[in-house]
């Protein structure tokens, strides 16, 4: 029997316009053009491969229709997963088809239906409206031109991984010189180049910096100028000067499964500790650090840091912790321990806009359950109070922290 309170809270949360604070959307090509864009998302290719599909259908020269057919031939092996439910919701909400119609035998019909619908001239607007999406943050390389799109709808974010971890590569040095007019060869020239980047991004309405960090990384104030730790420190200094939040996504071990599918090779490492960032948090009290951790096991440490550090903010439920079982427990602990103004509820991490709806839908259902259980029933809050708390997590904090 459906829980009416949870249903009512879910509906109220769905009425809140979204600002998605992290994605991989291409603003010049934000929506899907075929079902291959949907099922080509790494979750489906890695699940199908894990369940027995060869990597041959994933080759670039394989037609999209054939790739979709191959994945759908294996989809019954992972239709128990949360990621499958995202796909089923896309099929229902955007294609107007039922879950019963998802099958290898129905592959061509699904493909043709998606191709026809996605080809509509106003499809991008339809997706925004159906998803109740107001704006979405991007992931921009340091030399992205940031041209020909609405930066109030598609909000730039300076991704700094290449600068921190690959500046020793000649290709990156050349790209940086082209982007800034500065040849980097020492600490002062590095700072001039970073300053140029910040000024360029801020002129295009950028609202944050971001970086994905391995488990063994530790930023240090006295690190060698052109070392990863030294470059990272300079970026943090510029975040302080230009008042930009610095999103840290902590704990990725790259290429653990070396024979995995594209984007399906990385895992987390439980040896990571936020204590590695204590010097950073202490040195930059003026910089807000929205923190994402890769696994739920790191959540208690994140909660504790956000509990005592004013500049540490919990940020979403990332990657391997992005399933309801982990979101539920992680969210409960955050709401029980971290000031409500210091929590960014969720981000889609989407590569295509169609995924915003099912991913946020999943999160809102979990949030509605936690609000009903821990606040309305256990603490006697009114439904309106619970919805206002949900609104703060989903929207108000994003607006305030990123100054949207």
Please provide the DSSP assignment of 62-106 as one string. Answer: S-HHHHHHHHHHHGGGSTTSHHHHHHHHHHHHHH---GGG-SGGG
CB of 43 closer than 8 Å to CB of 83: yes
CB of 318 closer than 8 Å to CB of 249: yes
| CATH of the domain spanning 34-118 | 1.10.2020.10
Q: Count the neighbouring beta carbons within 10 Å of the beta carbon of residue 263.
A: 12
Class of domain 123-401: alpha beta
Over its length of 404 residues, how does the chain's per-residue pLDDT go in tens digits?
569 999 999 999 999 999 999 999 999 999 999 999 999 999 999 999 999 999 999 999 999 999 999 999 999 999 999 999 999 999 999 999 999 999 999 999 999 999 999 999 999 999 999 999 999 999 999 999 999 999 999 999 999 999 999 999 999 999 999 999 999 999 999 999 999 999 999 999 999 999 999 999 999 999 999 999 999 999 999 999 999 999 999 999 898 999 999 989 999 888 889 999 999 999 999 999 999 999 898 999 999 999 999 999 999 999 999 999 999 999 999 999 999 999 999 999 999 999 999 999 999 999 999 999 999 999 999 999 999 999 999 999 999 999 99
CB of 286 closer than 8 Å to CB of 240: yes
Residue 209 is classified by DSSP as E
User: Smallest Cα–Cα separation from 393: which of 356, 372, 363?
Assistant: 363
Q: What percentage of the chain carries pLDDT values higher than 70?
A: 100
Q: How far is CA 266 from CA 190, 258, 259, 319, in A?
A: 30, 9, 11, 10
Residues forming a β-bridge with 154: 136
- Give strand ranges (E) for 120-176: 133-137, 154-155, 158-159
Domain ranges of the chain: 34-118, 123-401
Judged by DSSP in three states, 165 sits in helix
Spell out a b/e string for 352-363, using b for 16 or more CB atoms within 10 Å of the CB, else e. bbbbbbbbbbbb
Entry pTM: 0.97
């Amino acid at each position: 029997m459906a829980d009416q309170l949870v249903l009512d809270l879910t509906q109220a949360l769905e009425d809140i316009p979204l600002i998605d604070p992290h994605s991989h959307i291409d603003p010049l090509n934000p929506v899907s053009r075929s079902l291959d864009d949907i099922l080509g998302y790494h979750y489906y290719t890695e699940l199908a491969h894990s369940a027995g599909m060869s990597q041959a259908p994933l080759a670039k020269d394989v037609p999209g229709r054939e790739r979709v057919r191959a994945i759908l031939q294996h989809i019954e092996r992972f239709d128990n997963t949360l990621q499958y439910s995202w796909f089923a919701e896309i099929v229902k909400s955007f294609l107007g088809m039922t879950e019963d119609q998802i099958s290898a035998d129905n592959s061509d019909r699904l493909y043709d239906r998606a191709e026809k619908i996605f080809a509509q001239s106003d499809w991008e607007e339809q997706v925004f409206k159906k998803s109740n999406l107001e704006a979405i943050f991007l992931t921009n390389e340091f030399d992205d031109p940031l041209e020909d799109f609405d930066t109030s709808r598609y909000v730039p974010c300076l991704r700094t991984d290449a600068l921190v971890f690959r500046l020793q590569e000649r290709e990156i040095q050349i790209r940086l010189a082209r982007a800034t007019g500065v040849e980097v060869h020492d600490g002062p020239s590095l700072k001039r180049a970073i300053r140029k980047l910040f000024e360029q991004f801020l002129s295009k309405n950028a609202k944050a910096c971001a970086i994905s960090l391995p488990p063994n990384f530790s930023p240090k104030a006295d690190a060698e100028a052109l070392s990863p730790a030294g470059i990272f420190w300079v970026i943090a200094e510029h975040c302080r000067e230009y008042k930009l939040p610095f999103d840290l996504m902590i704990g990725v071990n790259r290429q653990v499964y070396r024979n995995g599918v594209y984007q399906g090779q990385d895992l987390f490492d439980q040896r990571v500790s936020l204590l590695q960032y204590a010097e950073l948090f202490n040195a930059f009290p003026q910089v807000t650090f929205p923190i994402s951790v890769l696994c739920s096991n790191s959540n208690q440490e994140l909660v504790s840091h956000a509990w005592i550090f004013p500049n540490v903010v919990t940020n979403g439920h990332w990657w391997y912790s992005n399933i309801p079982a982990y979101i539920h427990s992680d969210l409960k602990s955050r709401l029980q321990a971290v000031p409500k103004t210091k929590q960014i509820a969720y981000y889609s991490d989407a590569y295509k806009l169609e995924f915003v709806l099912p991913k946020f839908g999943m999160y809102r259902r979990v949030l509605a359950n936690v609000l009903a259980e821990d606040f309305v029933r256990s603490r006697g809050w009114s439904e309106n109070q619970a919805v206002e708390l949900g609104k703060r997590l989903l929207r108000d904090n994003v607006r305030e922290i990123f100054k949207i």
